[in-house]
Amino acid sequence: MLAQHLPVLVAVVPLVAAPLIVVARSGFLGWVTALLVAAATTAMSAALLAQATASGTISYAIGSWPPPWGIEYRVDAANALVALLVSAVALVVVPYARRSVSAEVGQDRQYLFYALLMLCLAGLLGMALTGDAFNLFVFLEISSLSTYVLIALGRHRRALLAAYQYLVLGTTGATFYVIGVGLLYLATGTLNFADMAVRLADVRDARPLAAGLAFITAGIGLKLALFPLHAWLPNAYACAPSAVSAFVAATATKVSIYVLMRVYFSVFGVDAVFRDLPTGAILAVLSVAAMFAASAAAIVQPDLKRLLAFSSVGQVGYITLGISLGSAPGLAAAMAHVVNHGITKGALFLLAGAMALRLGGTGMDRVAGLARTMPVTAFAFVVGGLSLIGVPGTAGFASKWALVSAAIEAGRWWIAGAVLLSSLLAVAYVWRFVECAYFREPPAGAPDRDEAPADMTGPALALTAAVVAAGLFASPVLEASTRAAAALMGFAR
């Protein structure tokens, strides 16, 4: 009975939890609620993924209004995977957040933190699972607005500026998305993705469609930090509370990437996007620019969290590069990197948060000699860094392998070369940390050995272990990604 409502419950449970937390006005109760909700959404997402893998697409009509008139929730191997990633990251971040948030957010505002985190989770899960273009916009705004406030909770005044900057650009992005959807609605008369996909084939005038596609690409491109629309991201990630950085970095851009995949491959279809329009070439050029420019910028950042943020912009480039190939293997590689980079960056930001707790910040000068003061954290950070480089045995290697294979299969050797050459920039920015942590002396007066408490290092190390596990046993993620790509491309049928 309950099982058939799973597609909508995944998003509704955190949505309902948020006001409950506000009513309770207790940081501790908020934390407990968030933990339970994260566990529940993880279990439900896993169940949905298993169901979608076993028996194909699940369609859920809200209020029993049949699609395309009512809002449809449409779960397949692609968005169930994204939902699982989002919920699982939340499940790791919430236990960690208890102490991290106590240290970084004022006592009287902690319950608000958990309420906003639940709203953000609901928004992201809703974006992932809905099959309706306008409903997606609503959840996009829910997740965005909550993210702006979460970032503003950062302990420095700069966090307000970062949040404001993100607010301006994020709202622009969302507006562009809704304009694009409006154009598509004018042309097709429907907001249901599946219905839209069918009706688009009959639309004679291609120009409004191209305009709609362009608006959606630019709008979602802003949200996923497609180079050069990434200006908001470094400040937002660097200034947000540590737990927020970890959660947002691992999930928010990833869900936006999924939306772009859905619009490109499911709604418009490969031919309309990549054959009739130069989308692939534009996306490929921007992606390669991100891989080189943002990774190079990461090398010179004075702060570890900013370094990770620029690295994220570069790594998103690998994902969009996979999309730009316009092929099933390319899309699968992109999806694999969504998962693998999500857990990698999540782990790294959690570790950076542990450093921030003990060192009072993550400036490069503060992490000097970290191998002496926090050896476990430092080593785990190096492991996460190896995954950013794509060293075999880490998650990053598996997706890089898939991406290079897909590029070779498509006959695009220069793309394969660009992927591998830009990895060298990752070596440079990761090794900047290594040299700082292992070759420099700790600042004067630093304690001898002072790891962060277990409730923070535990989740961080668990996610780091997942990075290694996903690298050594890469087949499950790669196979799930291949199924996701097939589901995205075979949407309308």
Partner 1 sequence: MTGGELALAALAVPLAGVAFAAALHRNPDWREAATFATAGMLFFLVVSLAPAVLAGERPSVVLFEMLPGLPVALAVEPLGWLFAAVASSLWVVSTAYSVGYLRANGEGRQSRFFACFAGAIFAAVGIAFAGNLLTLFLFYEILTLVTYPLVTHHGTDEARRAGRVYLGVLVGTSIVFLLPAVIATAALAGTLDFRPGGILGGRVDATAAGVLLALFMFGIGKAALMPFHRWLPAAMVAPTPVSALLHAVAVVKAGVFCVVKVIVYVFGTETLAALGGAAWLTAVAAFTLVAASAVALRADNLKRRLAYSTVSQLAYVTMAASLLTPAAVMGAALHLVAHAFGKITLFFAAGSIYTAAHKTEVSQLDGIGRAMPWTMGAFAVGALSMIGLPPLAGFVSKWYILTGAMGARDWLVVGTLAASTLLNAAYFLPIVYRAFFVADTAGGGHGHEAPAPMVVAQAVTAAACVALFLFPGLAIALAKALT
- Residues lying near partner 1 in the complex (CB under 8 A) are found at 386, 389-393, 398, 400-401, 404-405, 408-409, 416-417, 420-421, 423-424, 427, 431, 435, 438-439, 472-475, 478-479, 482
Smallest gap from residue 464 Cβ to partner 1 (A)? 16
Nearer to partner 1 (CB atom), residue 134 or residue 379: 379
DSSP letter for 294, please: I
Smallest gap from residue 439 Cβ to partner 1 (A)? 5
Smallest gap from residue 378 Cβ to partner 1 (A)? 13
Nearer to partner 1 (CB atom), residue 126 or residue 329: 329
Nearer to partner 1 (CB atom), residue 199 or residue 440: 440
Q: What whole-number distance in Å separates Cα of residue 193 and Cα of residue 127?
A: 13
Q: What angle do CA 246, 249, 252 make, to 5 degrees?
A: 120
Q: What whole-number distance in Å separates Cα of residue 17 and Cα of residue 33?
A: 7
Q: Which residues have C-beta within 8 Å of that of residue 162, sequence separation ≥ 6?
A: 151, 152, 154, 232, 235, 236, 238, 239, 240
Nearer to partner 1 (CB atom), residue 184 or residue 334: 334
The two tokens of residue 86 are 């989002």
Of 45, 200, 65, which Cα lies nearest the Cα of 129?
45
Smallest gap from residue 458 Cβ to partner 1 (A)? 21
Peptide bond connecting 278 to the previous residue in cis, omega within 30 degrees of 0:
no
Q: What whole-number distance in Å separates Cα of residue 255 and Cα of residue 85?
A: 10
Smallest gap from residue 147 Cβ to partner 1 (A)? 34
Nearer to partner 1 (CB atom), residue 62 or residue 420: 420
Smallest gap from residue 400 Cβ to partner 1 (A)? 8
Q: What whole-number distance in Å separates Cα of residue 391 and Cα of residue 90?
A: 26
Q: Which residues have C-beta within 8 Å of that of residue 99, sequence separation ≥ 6?
A: 357, 453, 455, 456
Smallest gap from residue 176 Cβ to partner 1 (A)? 37
DSSP letter for 191, please: -
Residue tagged 């949407």 (tokens)? 491
Smallest gap from residue 302 Cβ to partner 1 (A)? 19
The two tokens of residue 181 are 């959807």
Nearer to partner 1 (CB atom), residue 185 or residue 379: 379
Q: E-assigned strands of 116-250? A: none
Of 402, 405, 391, which Cα lies nearest the Cα of 467?
391
Smallest gap from residue 428 Cβ to partner 1 (A)? 9
Smallest gap from residue 475 Cβ to partner 1 (A)? 5
Terminal CA-CA length for the chain:
28
Nearer to partner 1 (CB atom), residue 124 or residue 484: 484
Nearer to partner 1 (CB atom), residue 41 or residue 315: 315
Nearer to partner 1 (CB atom), residue 282 or residue 408: 408
Is residue 411 classed as helix, strand or coil in its secondary structure?
Answer: coil
Of 66, 59, 56, which Cα lies nearest the Cα of 6?
59
DSSP letter for 452, please: P
What is the amino acid identity at position 313? V
Nearer to partner 1 (CB atom), residue 122 or residue 382: 382
Smallest gap from residue 119 Cβ to partner 1 (A)? 38
Q: What whole-number distance in Å separates Cα of residue 225 and Cα of residue 238?
A: 15
Of 407, 437, 435, which Cα lies nearest the Cα of 421?
407
What is the amino acid identity at position 262? R
Nearer to partner 1 (CB atom), residue 38 or residue 391: 391
